[in-house]
Structure 1
Amino acid sequence: MIRETPIYGVDFSGAKTDKNTWIASGFFNLHNINLDSVNPITRRDLVGLLTDIPNHSVVSLDFPFSLPIAFLQSWAPQARTMPDVWDTTLHKSLHDFIIARDTFVKKHGEVKREGDYHFRESYSCLHKSNPNMLPMTYHGMRLLAKLQESRFNTPPLEPPATQRPTLLEAMPGAALRAFGLPYKGYKNGSQAINLRKLILQELITRFNLIISDDTLTSEIITSNHDCLDAIINMVVSALWSKSPGLFLHPPDNETDEVSHAQLEGWLYAPTYISK
């Protein structure tokens, strides 16, 4: 019997209103990716949902799991791995985070994490022009802090001794570029809806994406780019379930880069996947 893997994709938002986070849920069985539902969810409810998913689940979330080492020297100087950063962030305010970012960027610029340089479409998590980036990063790390007791498998950290759900840092744009699909212009602009329709149709065709809910039409999905991003992240979870070898990892023959990634986090995107 083919084992079905529960898969989830989260398009995460740090907005004050907390109305813009979406989660796509389904399963992967080596032949198909089944999308069962995609809905908005609050950050609080997301914590509750993730603490209760099956141990062999894979979840992709699109926010930075940690921060550049240069910034951490002042934000969390004692941190050795990502959980140390999460714990520090849990006990500091968003205002503290903004002030620390502004002070750092004024002196050093918008530094990226080492792993981010592999993805030209990625921005620094200290980015100032996008007002959503910093709150998303802040609330995302606080979410991870609240999940620590549940002992998730969070690459590139060492895995738990027993099987636990896997949490991946993902980025829809990086996945789309790996698929050879448009990764710019589908959120805003005159061609946004057409590009979303193209992306959705390609996901359905290439990855045998089956939409189980008959009420979840293409028009509904493509009317909201957050909804589509959650589905893209769910596809990333399915590909990880199929084979983590499809993804770029920190070089395991370079101890420093692995230890840096365990502190700064690592964006997991598939390598190029053709039609």
Structure 2
Amino acid sequence: MAKLTLVPTPIGNLEDVTLRALRVLREADAVAAEDTRHSGKLLAHFGISKPLERLDAHTIPARAPALLGRYAHLAFVTDAGTPGLSDPGAELVRLALAAGHEVEVLPGPTALIPALVLSGLPLGSFAFEGFLPRKGAARRERLAAIAASDRTVALYESPKRLLATLNDLAAVCGEARAVSVSRELTKRFEATYRGTLGAVAAQLAALGEVRGECVVVVGPRERGAESPHVDFAAAAARLAASGLSGRALRAALEAAGAPRNVAYALTLERANESG
């Protein structure tokens, strides 16, 4: 039986690496990495020389069993942060556990927790969505679930899709829903933008190109709160343009706070216009 240790690595600032992480990387028989070139530079920076084996989303199913059979202690790192959170590490853990290997996970750097705390939003209970589907029904369903949530919700997004996601969230949650967007965490140009979905989307659009991976934190829907700020007719038009119709459109409008009769009437109106 082998031992697999998931080792978090800095998401930007190399000072965030832990002493325990460095010890494990030095003691392991080999280091498996999502990108051996990227991780090789990290190991070299800390003076660690170990066999480097590539294990990414495409190679884990085929290569991981052999590596766990070859090395008594295998350390695994991804490009940045804690392996297993929205990256191939999760599949590696499932495979190792199913084969009866020992699995150890070290605490360490992650973008999720700092972004949640920086948001200033309620954190008594929160949900993590990872990366949203890029399109289709799966994306619309996840957006509707975020709109209906009475918990703070965090998700990861690439800079290229950030504005589109903020606009989609505004369409289903209402532009006045609280949001926080953190980018370049722990790096020189780290920044967090807080406000409403409408205001933050406008602020980021005015900045032009956004760089670095982003964490979006959406505030919870207020229970029983009225939503006079939401233009439900405009929301229905945006949702219909994104491909929603019928029951899915009505459900999304209700998730955004529209009364049932209003959601029904707007859905019927959209159906009549398209027909």
State the TM-score, normalized to the length of structure 2.
0.25
Larger relative strand fraction: 2
Larger RCO: 1 or 2 (CA < 8 Å, sep 6+):
1
- Give the greater-gyration-radius structure (CA): 2
State the TM-score, normalized to the length of structure 1.
0.25
